[in-house]
Structure 1
Amino acid sequence: MSYGASYEQYNTLFLNEASEIHPSIVYRNLGLVTVLLLVLTLLSLATALMVNLKNKSHVSYLVSASIASLSIGFGSILLSNYVGVYI
């Protein structure tokens, strides 16, 4: 009892009809994007936490902290996708 096509039919289908899957630009340069996000995180955290709040407005503090938290989130997502693919 056979289900589907034979091995030879699947093999010829793969050899003749298959097309290559191209990853997006972000995933081709995933290491660079992750490093840039980590640098952005460190710079944003440094500007948010190392500056005297008496001389700085609260809006710029919130913007720096928001940028840092977003880049931490996106960096962790990209890093987990990268590590998850190669494990």
Structure 2
Amino acid sequence: MPDSDLTSRIKKMLVESLMLKVSPDDIGDDTPLFSPEGLALDSIDALELAVSLEKNFGVATPSSEVAREAFVSVNTIASYVTAKQQA
């Protein structure tokens, strides 16, 4: 379970870097980022997200396959960031 400070920082980063019209508090930890039932992000958002992750957390996303697994929800991003920072 990722820590709540990290998930809060990720939510804030999502809203700011992707200019989402929701507040960070409105994004659930397990809300699907790319599905219509969730935030309905698109491929451009995925690129922005990858750049923001590297800028804010020093974590690179080496391929689209890795991004597809890591960018499912705030929790999966937090787990990815935590794993990469500990590696």
TM-score by length of 2: 0.25
Larger radius of gyration, structure 1 or 2? Answer: 1
TM-score by length of 1: 0.25
